[in-house]
A and B are shown apart, each in its own frame.
Chain A
Amino acid sequence: AQSVTQLDSQVPVFEEAPVELRCNYSSSVSVYLFWYVQYPNQGLQLLLKYLSGSTLVKGINGFEAEFNKSQTSFHLRKPSVHISDTAEYFCAVRYSGNTPLVFGKGTRLSVIA
């Protein structure tokens, strides 16, 4: 079955430190990959997406992610986090064909002053 694994349910990090949120997906066939962010009491907002082309994808708010086909990973990184980055982050994958977007269980990022 198609699945997405976010290896860390919670990640605490100090302000201005770098952060990496890990995401692995279950298949090595063609995929379309997404990272979303959810702030409290809000819906999900797209951070970035990989559809094809360059494996390094840049998104909003200084985030970037790297698609690694051999490791079936799509880790999210930011070189220096801010308090305002505190939120829940979701990795999602859509496989070839008209299949639903499948989400990981999320990683709660807490930025500490």
Chain B
Amino acid sequence: KAGVTQTPRYLIKTRGQQVTLSCSPISGHRSVSWYQQTPGQGLQFLFEYFSETQRNKGNFPGRFSGRQFSNSRSEMNVSTLELGDSALYLCASRLAETNTGELFFGEGSRLTVL
């Protein structure tokens, strides 16, 4: 069974640009979460989607947005990039919107903002 797939793995952008990251969850998983990982802040929750609906949202500005498609694939978008947005963005999926569901992570998309 294929794992969580994230594309692209690496990208470089300049300040003010926007970026879209893609995530394909494990087959059959309907919930997708996004996290931002930085050396100083660790893993911070961005948002979670289930059945195309945002279920939870972290404490990030409105420049960060996401969506989920009917096939459970998800994208996140960051507009008007800032230097501080440089990070590893991790996508994770779980089977369903359950309390006990562990997350299965992709390898991440490493974004560098110059």
Give the B-binding residues of A (Cβ under 8 A): 32, 34, 36, 41-46, 49, 51, 90, 94, 96-106
Contacts and interface: CB of A to CB of B under 8 A. Distances in A.
Contacts of A96: 99
A42 B107 contact: yes
Q: Which 6 A-B pairs have the closest CB atoms?
A: A43-B105, A105-B42, A103-B43, A44-B105, A100-B45, A43-B107
A101 B103 contact: yes
Nearest to B47: A100
A44 B35 CA distance: 11
Interface of B: 4, 33, 35, 41-43, 45, 48, 55-56, 58, 90, 92, 97-100, 102-108
Chain A contact residues: helix, strand, loop or mixed: loop
A91 B103 CA distance: 13
A104 B44 CA distance: 9
Contacts of B98: 98
Contacts of B108: 42-43
Contacts of B99: 32, 94, 96-98
A75 B108 CA distance: 27
A96 B41 CA distance: 24
